[in-house]
Amino acid sequence: MLAYVIGNFLVYCVINAFTPGPGNILALNTVNSYGWKKGKPLFFGIFAGYYVVQIICALFVYGIGAFLPSALKILKYIGAAYIFWLAIHVAISKPTTDDSAEGASFWKGFMLQFVNVKIYMFGITALTGYITDYSTALITLVGIELLIATIGTIATCTWIGMGILIRRFYLRHYKVINIILALTLLECIYSVLK
């Protein structure tokens, strides 16, 4: 049972981290527009912001668990609803064709993460859907969120590193890729609600 939950947790994390989102798209557009060297400040801002937001998510879930433990069960259902919404969104989404990127500053990348609803929902849903049934210790929650931020950083690095190659492949096959990812997310809902 625990191995099944861990497996679905990792699938959920990888899908969330590697699918197009504001950070990944901005990183891709920036590397295409400015190159690695000029884009580095923005990339490091995205990474730093990701870690800070995930720690905020851990503190939020810990606070809710400590003061309103029954709220975690409600958050689990909200998380499942979010995964369902994400599955639908992934299934019907189309790739962006906008290659413009305004500027490549650290603060632009850092601040993007504070308004990036996707990573808040990602972090909170991962904790309440997969982790809090087993542990609500602050160190565990922060550790898991740091793992999530690391997976997210690896995903963004992949988008940066592969640059146009990923984009070309995704543009050619996005419908099939999106359906597979959406179906996998629907299976993840089962493990959240189990």
Is 74 among the domain residues?
yes
What pLDDT does 56 receive? 95
Task: Note whether residue 43 is domain-resident.
Answer: yes
Can you give the residue range of the structural domain that contains 158?
A: 2-6+22-193
Establish if 11 belongs to a structural domain: no
In the chain, the number of structural domains is 1
91 vs 157: CA distance, rounded Å: 24
Residue 14 located in a structural domain: no
Quick check: 54 and 149 in contact, CB under 8 A? yes
Q: Please report whether residue 65 resides in a domain.
A: yes
Is position 13 within any domain?
no
Q: What is the pTM for the complete model shown?
A: 0.75
State yes or no: pLDDT of 53 exceeds 90: yes
Residue 120 CB: number of other CB atoms within 10 A? 18
pLDDT band at 164 (very low <50, low <70, confident <90, very high): low
Residue 16 within any structural domain of the chain: no
Residue 12 lies in a domain: no
